[in-house]
Amino acid sequence: MKILLMIFVVVSLIVLVGLAWQSRKMLKQVVDENNKRPKQVRERQLHPKLQQQQKNKK
């Protein structure tokens, strides 16, 4: 019974490492795709309270 449990633990660890490696690979691919996309420049948005304060200062 102990041998069966040890085999199960080893197989589980191998599967876990494989899944971690696969998710890391997928994350790297997504990051690369995001870096290739052109950046969209847009105005900086302020919180409504800060917008109101700036309007009051002017």
Give the structural domain span for 29. Answer: 1-56
Instruction: Give pLDDT, residue 58.
Output: 66
CB atoms within 10 A of CB 27: 10
**pLDDT tier, 6 (very low <50, low <70, confident <90, very high otherwise):** very high
The total number of structural domains in the chain stands at: 1
Q: Report how far apart the first and last C-alpha atoms of the chain are (Å, whole number).
A: 79
Per residue in 8-54, pLDDT (tens digit) is 999 999 999 999 999 999 999 999 999 898 888 777 788 888 888 88
Instruction: Give pLDDT, residue 22.
Output: 98
Q: Say yes or no to pLDDT of 3 above 70.
A: yes
Instruction: Give pLDDT, residue 44.
Output: 79
Alpha helical stretches, state H, the chain: 2-36, 48-57
Q: How far apart are CA 39 and CA 46, in angstroms?
A: 20
